[in-house]
């Protein structure tokens, strides 16, 4: 990434916060009532002498249920293994973070949070927004909502109706065996034939479920997200032949090269891009570019981010290849109050893309302090 002044990280603060969810969020891997989030703050000194701070958000969950990473592990690997490699030298670029950390395997969410904090600081020093930096063009983006699994179909319909009333332009239903065909049928009946609808299984099915999942074809859905376990690329390719509804990968996609392979194998007809899962916003842009090149539609996923990650996702999703509505809903979909001053809202079903420098948010320090559960500081020696 050119045009940005290099610099050095002077100090890093690792903050953990606890944010209660407005309602429990159930997926095929469990129920969550509160989000325990790791934030990274860096003090950055540019080679031109200016000082800025940058913030990154780690999307790892409390337990390794969505992916192998989990928030305590992410904090440990950052403290004990990753940070030391970023606290040397005076002419670092955020775009060097991935290469500096490349000999350490895995941990994309931990690495992505560090890269994000440096990128935010470096962009703020230059007075440039991430969206402008990557050539994002949209000023507003359509907003979709992810709806958790409900045992009771009437409860599900009441929840979906609220989101339709809020203006969301696309509904995504979490599904699992036993809570799928009937739920989708009822929701399609409620919202009518024209409202975009999709489902997300979070790996809950097996290779032998092709005929069952093909029953979803009659409901005219945009896509089926991650029906099979993350490593089963061939299984997804076979499903793509058996099921008419496009197969979209989420958990399986952890790098640009792996995404290219999944596309080539016919396993990925649509891609869910989540910056944290792929090691950061810069790898996310590379995945966007390769999907555009191969004619694969992409959309931006979500990990129940605070206003930090939510603003950043909105900037990313303003790239032209993001042709499907993302899971970038209003902050109030998940949280009563956000840790940023101007939380993401929706108007006429759309989110306004932030334009200010860095990732375009401003921290509400008093509220952030009130939800902080621990703070650790690492200073460069």
* Contact residues: Mg ion, CB under 5 A: 200, 225, 250
Q: What CA–CA distance (Å, rounded) separates 288 from 300?
A: 10
Q: Is 99 helix (H, G, I), strand (E, B) or coil?
A: helix
Does 143 contact ligand NPQ by CB under 6 A? no
CB of 357 to Mg ion, least distance (A): 31
Stretch that binds ligand NPQ, among 80-88, 158-166, 300-308, 349-357 (CB under 6 A): 300-308
Whether residue 174 lies in the annotated active site: yes
Please identify which residue in 9, 58, 304, 330 interacts with ligand NPQ, judged by CB under 6 A.
Answer: 304
27's contact among Mg ion, ligand NPQ, none, with CB below 5 to 8 A by partner kind, is ligand NPQ
Spatial CB neighbours of 323, under 8 Å, sequence gap ≥ 6: 297, 298, 299
The separation between CA 374 and the C-alpha centre of its own chain, rounded to angstroms, equals 24
Give 126 or 199: the residue with its C-beta nearer to ligand NPQ: 199
Using CB under 6 A as the binding rule, whether residue 318 contacts ligand NPQ is answered as no
Minimum CB distance to Mg ion smaller for 114 or for 221: 221
Q: Which is nearer to ligand NPQ, 125 or 346 (CB)?
A: 346
Question: CA 269 to CA 295: how far, in whole Å?
Answer: 9
- The residue within the footprint of ligand NPQ, chosen from 60, 113, 303, 317 (CB under 6 A), is 303
Tell which residue, 60, 85, 200, 333, has the closest CA to residue 344: 333
* Choices 112-120, 122-130, 301-309, 365-373; region in contact with ligand NPQ by CB under 6 A: 301-309
Query: Is residue 32 close enough to count as binding ligand NPQ by CB under 6 A?
Result: yes
The DSSP H or E segment spanning 153 is helix 153-166
**Catalytic hit among 16, 274, 277, 288:** 274
Pairing of strands 30-46, 51-58: antiparallel
| Whole-angstrom distance, CA of residue 116 vs CA of residue 98 | 11
Would residue 172 show up in a list of annotated catalytic residues for this protein? Answer: no
Instruction: Name which of ligand NPQ, Mg ion, none residue 302 binds, using a CB cut-off of 5 to 8 Å depending on partner kind.
Output: ligand NPQ
Task: Tell me how far, at minimum, the Cβ of 217 lies from ligand NPQ, in Å.
Answer: 21
Residue 27 interacts with ligand NPQ (CB under 6 A)? yes
Give the contact letters, 212-251, x = binds to ligand NPQ (CB under 6 A), - = no.
--------------------------------------x-
Side-chain-side CA neighbours of residue 363 (13 Å): 17
Stretch of 24-32, 151-159, 190-198, 234-242 lying at the interface with ligand NPQ (CB under 6 A): 24-32
Q: Which of 8, 150, 172, 174 is catalytic?
A: 174
Taking alpha carbons only, the member of 283, 291, 300 closest to residue 108 is 283
300 makes contact with ligand NPQ (CB under 6 A): no
Q: For residues 252 and 273, give the distance between their C-alpha atoms in angstroms, rounded to a whole number.
A: 11
- When the beta carbons of 111 and 277 are compared against ligand NPQ, the nearer one is 277
Q: In the 3-class helix/strand/coil scheme, how is 15-78 assigned residue by residue? A: EEEEEEEEEEEEECCEEEEEEEEEEEEEEEEECCCCEEEEEEEECCCCCCCCCCCCHHHHHHHH
User: Quick one: 174 exposed, middle or buried, by C-beta within 10 A (0-12, 13-18, 19+)?
Assistant: buried
Q: Write down the least CB distance from residue 304 to ligand NPQ, Å.
A: 4
CB atoms inside a 10 Å sphere around CB 240: 19
Among 12, 16, 19, 25, binds ligand NPQ (CB under 6 A): 25
DSSP 113-139: HHHHHHHHHHHHHHT-BHHHHHT---S
Give Cα separations from 152 to 146, 155, 337 (angstroms).
Answer: 17, 5, 28
Name the minimum Å distance from CB 202 to ligand NPQ. Answer: 5
Pick between residue 61 and residue 278 the one whose CB is nearest to ligand NPQ. 61
Least CB distance from residue 226 to ligand NPQ, whole Å? 7
**Site of interaction with ligand NPQ (CB under 6 A):** 25, 27, 32, 61, 66, 146, 200, 202, 250, 301-304, 327
Tell me the catalytic residues.
174, 274
């Amino acid at each position: 990434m050119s045009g940005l002044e290099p610099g050095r990280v002077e100090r890093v603060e690792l903050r953990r916060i606890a944010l209660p969810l407005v309602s429990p969020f159930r997926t095929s891997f469990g129920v969550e009532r509160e989000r325990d989030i790791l934030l990274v703050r860096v003090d950055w000194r540019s080679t031109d002498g200016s000082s800025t701070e940058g913030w990154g958000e780690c999307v790892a969950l409390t337990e390794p249920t969505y992916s192998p990473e989990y928030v305590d592990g992410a904090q440990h690997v950052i403290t004990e293994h990753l940070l030391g490699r970023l606290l040397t030298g005076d002419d670092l670029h955020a775009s060097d973070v991935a290469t500096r950390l490349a000999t350490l395997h895995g941990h994309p969410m931990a690495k992505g949070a560090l890269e994000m904090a440096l990128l935010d600081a470096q962009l703020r020093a230059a007075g440039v927004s991430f969206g402008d930096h990557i050539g994002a063009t949209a000023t507003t983006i359509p907003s979709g909502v992810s709806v958790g699994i409900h045992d009771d179909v009437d409860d599900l319909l009441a929840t979906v109706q609220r989101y339709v009333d809020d203006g969301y332009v696309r509904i995504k239903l979490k599904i699992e065996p036993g809570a799928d065909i009937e739920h989708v049928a009822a929701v399609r009946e409620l919202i009518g034939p024209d409202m975009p609808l999709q489902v997300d299984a979070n790996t809950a099915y097996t290779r032998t479920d092709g005929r069952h999942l093909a029953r979803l074809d009659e409901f005219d859905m945009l896509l089926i997200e991650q029906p099979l376990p993350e490593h089963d690329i061939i299984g997804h390719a076979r499903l793509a032949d058996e099921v008419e509804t496009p197969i979209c990968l989420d958990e399986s996609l952890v790098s640009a090269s792996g995404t290219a392979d999944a596309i080539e194998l016919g396993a990925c007809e649509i891609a869910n891009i989540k910056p944290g899962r792929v090691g950061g916003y810069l790898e996310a842009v590379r995945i966007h570019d390769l999907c555009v090149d191969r004619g694969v539609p992409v959309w931006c996923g979500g990990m129940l981010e605070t206003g930090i990650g939510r603003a950043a996702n909105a900037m990313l999703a303003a790239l032209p290849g993001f042709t499907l509505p993302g899971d970038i809903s209003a902050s109030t979909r998940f949280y009563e109050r956000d840790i940023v001053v101007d939380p993401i809202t929706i108007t006429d079903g759309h989110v306004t893309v932030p334009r200010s420098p860095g990732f375009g948010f401003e921290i509400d320090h008093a509220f952030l302090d009130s939800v902080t559960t621990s703070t650790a500081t690492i200073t460069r020696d």
